[in-house]
Amino acid sequence: MSKTKVICFANNKGGSGKSTTCVNVGYEMALTGKKVLLIDGDMQMNLTLSFFDDSMTFSFVESGKTLYEGLKAEKDLAPYIVHTGYPNLDLIPSSSEMSSIEFELFPRWQREFILRKCLSHIVASGTYDFILMDAPPTLGCWVMNMLCASDELVIPVEASPWGLFGVAKMNDFVRQVQTIAPQLHVMGIAVTKADERKKYLREMLDTLHESDMPVFETIIRIDSTIEWSQDNSKPVGAYKRNSRSANEYANLAKEILNHVSR
């Protein structure tokens, strides 16, 4: 039985492609036969809405099948798992209640490790090859929980001047987390929403390569197929299998799989 790898997609910069990358890497990994659990850690519920419409998402909230309920009760998260409808791909849905997770965590004993504790049974069971988590655009106790529960971090960075800004901040935060969770390893920066027509892209890539952070070779280009797929609550590979975006995410998933098998 191989060990479940936990990978977090995080960046405090909003709109950097975290949710899009988490969904589509997860879908492509599942297509290769890996068993994948996605965890929606954001009150915006973008990961959940990538598979389910509003009414299904609301039904998870009504039936208490959400990450928030599991964290609040500090319980094993296995009963909160739902199937996405795609082979090998499950999800723990989010809810708007996640907006109060910081207050919820604050008075708890060992508050940085609540998620790790709640995931320990799922990880130990080896049911999944990968757990992929979508973080919100914040750097508080909750994202610290997500990183403390992770083996690997992927930082999606939008190919824009402001996209670069967040990286240094994220780097400092990761170093802080590593003092209490030394297993956390930065797998790399995934450049997203890239527009090859812009000279700025080349400059940004040079700047990133000069930094000490690893950068994935695959670049996710800006493409409206991504938005259409999200409008249809589908991963891009399920929406348009042979699209450029689906191929790019298949390549990124392959790179991530190569990294973890080293």
Ligand X SMILES: Nc1ncnc2c1ncn2[C@@H]1O[C@H](COP(=O)(O)OP(=O)(O)OP(=O)(O)O)[C@@H](O)[C@H]1O
**Site residues, ligand X (CB under 6 A):** 14-20, 42, 44, 46, 136-137, 192-193, 220, 222-223, 226-227, 230
Residue 44 is which amino acid? Answer: Q
Site for Mg ion contains 18 (CB under 5 A): yes
Site for Mg ion contains 48 (CB under 5 A): no
Site for Mg ion contains 13 (CB under 5 A): no
* Minimum CB distance to Mg ion, residue 18 (Å): 5
Distance CA(66)–CA(2), nearest Å, equals 27
String marking each residue 207-246 x if it binds Mg ion according to CB under 5 A: ----------------------------------------
Q: Is the dihedral of CA 88, 150, 256, 160 positive or negative?
A: positive
Residue closest to Mg ion (Cβ): 19
* Minimum CB distance to ligand X, residue 223 (Å): 5
Q: With respect to Mg ion, which residue has the nearer C-beta, 47 or 148?
A: 47
CA 1 to chain CA centroid, Å, is 24
* Minimum CB distance to ligand X, residue 212 (Å): 23
Assign residue 64 a region (left: φ > 0; alpha: ψ between -120 and 50; beta: otherwise): left
Q: With respect to ligand X, which residue has the nearer C-beta, 54 or 74?
A: 54
* Minimum CB distance to ligand X, residue 262 (Å): 27
Distance CA(143)–CA(133), nearest Å, equals 10
**Are 229 and 235 spatial neighbours (Cβ–Cβ below 8 Å)?**
yes
**155 forms bridges with which residues in the sheet?**
189
Distance CA(60)–CA(26), nearest Å, equals 21
Which residues would be at the binding site for Mg ion (CB under 5 A)?
18-19, 46
